[in-house]
Amino acid sequence: MDLEKSVNPTSTLLNQCQPNQYPSQPVSTQPVPISTSVNPTSTHLNQCQPNQYPSQPVSTQPVPFSTNDLPISTSDRDNQYPSQPVTNSTSDHLSQYQLNQLCEVERSVASLRADLPPAVEELRHAVETFRMRLETTEHLSWLGFYKKGIGEPLGNLGNSHPYWKNVQYRRKAEEEVTTVCSKFREICDGVVGLDTQELLRLPSFNNWAWKDWEILFLLQHMYNDLGLLSKFGIETEVFRKFLCRVYHCYNQVPFHNFMHAFCVTQMMYGMICKCDLQRRLGDLDVLILLTSCVCHDLDHPGFNNIYQINARTELALRYNDISPLENHHCSVAFSVLERNECNIFKNVPAEDYKKVREGIIRCILATDMARHNEILSDFREIQEFSFENRAHVNVLFMVLIKVADISNEARPLDIAEPWLECLMQEFFNQSDLEKLEGLPVSPFMDREKVTKPSSQCSFIGFVLLPLFEALGTVLPELDVRHFDFLF
Ligand SMILES: [Zn+2]
């Protein structure tokens, strides 16, 4: 993605970039604690800054990398993302009367569709399936119906009710993955500068300043910094292939993309360091937490569980409407790990691997917001938290990844605001599609109903704050009141 390379005046990171170095001499290295301020102004997404390679790379020997050995075979599927849905682009030019009429027609079409006789429904399904086949089968492209890039599910999920039905989201083009991974290979033997190492532990870390291949490099640094590669016999080459495959499996959707996975991982890394969780929990648990974050939204299509269930997609059918997306993320994660060349756990003893698998599944499934109240009340019910009590720690794991997952609002405004823009865009894409398909529309996703301030106030007040406060009782290091410089 070529984002505008404007300099962000409030960035703690960018303004200090030196030639041929990662940023040094940061203006402020003060930790920014979990805060809950709402950004009243809107900024644009174009916040990507020019950035530098790491200081003094040990070796810049490029290691050729090809996506040929990726676990998922993809052709170039760089399709059109419906960023300007028909319903939105036309509505600006229509009178209210015309809009009402359009809505009426939409409603009657939707009701007609709901009442189709079985034979017609069967025929419609057959036509739909045939159309989909024409649009997604490359060797039939000469017929002129083939659409490059329509997403196919990762893994063999069947195609009776494909969850990508009518959803044209972008998978990464193979060339893009190859380019990013090659650039990662060029810098991956380098060393992250000391200032960047410091910043990487803080919520004020500015993700918008970094390119994807540098983000891969920073992820590698986190694992190395915590000594996870050496402690669990993870071969460097295997780890790098794992990272590249993870990168490949994130889609180009507005919010739930690779950069989001990085931000969640970086927040978790910051909490692990700040709260000394490696000493309190142990290396294996830290490995579980970090890897769960890296993988927690793999192959997210940009349409949430409500859509999956209402549209009766393949994922909803497969997982019986129970956290379809989270189950899918988890399944894709272990599909990647099943491949020998990227199985970072292959040297982990069987007994520990069992714990790793259980832990990652628990963490990723906990990110379903439908389970928010259940997990929060389980956590609150713990009377005297003990790191020796496995049941307590298991709930803590879920709270930690949930906090990391929704922690954008705990970042400085110039970093948080673009994320809100991304989230709204993803919501609007979904609600536009739901309107087109005659499906129920969540009010908080409806571009005609939601406003940023009101949605943020509700989210922060009812979801984020109670969760953060609960975590603060067990890990007081994260409590905002301990950061004196704020007051
Ligand atoms: Zn997430």
Distance 452 CA to ligand 1 centre (A): 19
Q: Which residue has the higher pLDDT, 125 or 375?
A: 375
Give the pLDDT confidence score for residue 100 in this predicted structure.
77
Angle at 377 between CA 371 and CA 382, to 5 degrees: 130
Q: Binding site annotation covers 1?
A: no
Asked if 300 is an active-site residue, the reply is no
| Residue 458 banded pLDDT, cuts 50, 70, 90 | confident
pLDDT of residue 122: 76
Report field, pTM of the whole predicted structure over 0.75:
no
Residues 197-214 as b/e (b if ≥16 CB within 10 A, e otherwise) read eebbbbbbbbbbbbbbbb
* DSSP state letters, 243-302: HHHHHHHS-B-SSSSHHHHHHHHHHHHHHHHHTTHHHHH-HHHHHHHHHHHHHTTTT--S
Q: Is residue 53 pLDDT above 50, yes or no? A: no
What type of residue sits at position 485? F
Looking at per-residue pLDDT, the higher value among 261 and 152 belongs to: 261
Model confidence band, residue 172 (pLDDT cutoffs 50, 70, 90): confident
pLDDT band, residue 88 (cuts 50/70/90) = very low
pLDDT of residue 147: 53
Average pLDDT over residues 32-59: 35
Mean pLDDT, to the nearest integer, of 347-368? 98
Lowest model confidence (mean pLDDT) among 131-140, 202-211, 262-271: 131-140
Catalytic residue among 256, 328, 329, 392: 256
Give the distance (Å) from ligand 1 centre to CA of residue 329: 10
Share of the chain above pLDDT 90, in %: 57
CB 64 within 8 A of CB 182: yes
As a whole number of angstroms, the distance between CA 120 and CA 472 comes to 57
Residue 426 — pLDDT band, cuts 50, 70, 90? very high
221 has binding-site annotation = no
170 pairs with which residues across the strands? 252
Confidence of residue 155 (pLDDT cuts 50, 70, 90): very low
How close is the Cα of 252 to the center of ligand 1, in Å? 14
pLDDT of res. 180: 97
- Whether residue 382 is predicted with pLDDT greater than 60 in this model: the reply is yes
Q: How many CB atoms lie within 10 A of CB 487?
A: 6
In the predicted model, what is the mean pLDDT of residues 15-27? 32
Q: What percent of the chain has pLDDT over 70?
A: 69
Residues 175-195 pLDDT 10s: 999 999 999 999 999 999 999
| Domain chopping of the chain, boundaries | 14-78+170-486
Does 58 have pLDDT greater than 70?
no
Average pLDDT, the chain: 77
139 Cα: distance to centroid of ligand 1 (angstroms)? 36
Topology at the third CATH level for domain 14-78+170-486: Catalytic domain of cyclic nucleotide phosphodiesterase 4b2b (1.10.1300)
The pLDDT tens digits for 269-315 are 999 999 999 999 999 999 999 999 999 999 999 999 999 999 999 99
Dist. CA 405 → ligand 1 center (Å) = 5
Q: Is 299 annotated as a binding residue?
A: no
**285 labeled binding residue:** no
pLDDT for 124 = 75
Average pLDDT over residues 59-86: 32
| Residue 297 among known ligand-binding residues | yes
**At which residue do the structure tokens 């393949």 appear?**
314
